[in-house]
Amino acid sequence: MIIDRLYDRVDKKGHVCVGLDTDLSYLPEFLIKKHSNISDSIFEFNKRIIDSTKEYASCFKVQIAYYEAYGIDGMLAYKKTLEYLRSEDQIIIADIKRGDISKTAEMYAKAHFEGDFESDFITVNPYMGMDSIEPYLDYVKNKEKGLFVLVRTSNPGAKDIEYIETSTGSRVFKEVGKKIQKLGEDYIGDCGYSSLGGVVGCTHKDEGIEMRKELDKTFFLIPGYGAQGGGAKDVVPYLKEGNGGVVNSSRGILLAYKKAEGDPKDFDEYSRIEAKKMQEAILNEVK
């Protein structure tokens, strides 16, 4: 199962998930001038980031909105980035956050688990109900694919809906988490986790221990690190025996060269240093 591959990568390489949320403004000026189109500029940036950080990354998350924003050129960069990641045997999380039902969800599954935009995992939004997830499950069961389902997100607005108290005194996000874990019981790998994972932000560390205990078979995709305020100490409660989750950092790694005020031509080296630093910081807290 795909979750076993991801678990093994974390075991060997740590918890870093490099987020390729690549905005054109992140690119050094020389890279934009070098190419005649946006597609090649973004792809070269991504390729150099991938090459420089893959030693420290267990997986890569590619946020589709950053590519859709640039139309056909952007989607060509998205396609080429996914192709390159596959050629390098990297595990891909396509952050598409789809949340529809029936035939529409079937088409989303086909679009992102096959063909030009094929990835290993995709993110989905369950807030239309569990039937919005069912069309993806054939790929999980039969085609070595996985899902990360939004459970509790890292944004301040999460409290608007996810924290609403239920009639039983629970919270909406807790009920979603329980339903995802129940649904995922049919897709548990040798590692003890399901290929139906959950997106759980690390910016609410006080709840981490409780969530990890309740969702003991759910592998976590953990946003909120770095630019969103989370640190290595915040991540630990969401892990179990040093595994059970990957931690995403996007801007913190992509823009490391700007933070360091380094030579833009060496942007990938600064990203490598940042990914290594993140890997070591989390591993040191886990020990």
Catalytic residues: 97
Q: Is 69 exposed, middle or buried (0-12, 13-18, 19+ CB in 10 A)?
A: exposed
Q: Do the Cβ atoms of 17 and 282 come closer than 8 Å?
A: no
Write down the H helix ranges in 88-147. 102-113, 137-142
DSSP symbol at 147: E
Supply φ then ψ for residue 90, to 5 degrees.
Answer: -95, 150
The DSSP H or E segment spanning 233 is: helix 232-235
Q: Do the Cβ atoms of 230 and 208 come closer than 8 Å?
A: no
Quickly list DSSP for 86-146.
HHTT--EEEEEEE---HHHHHHHHHHHHSGGG--SEEEE--TT-GGGTGGGHHHHHHSS-E
| Nearby residues of 265 by Cβ (< 8 Å), 6 or more positions away | 28, 30
Q: Do the Cβ atoms of 93 and 119 come closer than 8 Å?
A: yes
Supply φ then ψ for residue 275, to 5 degrees.
Answer: -65, -40
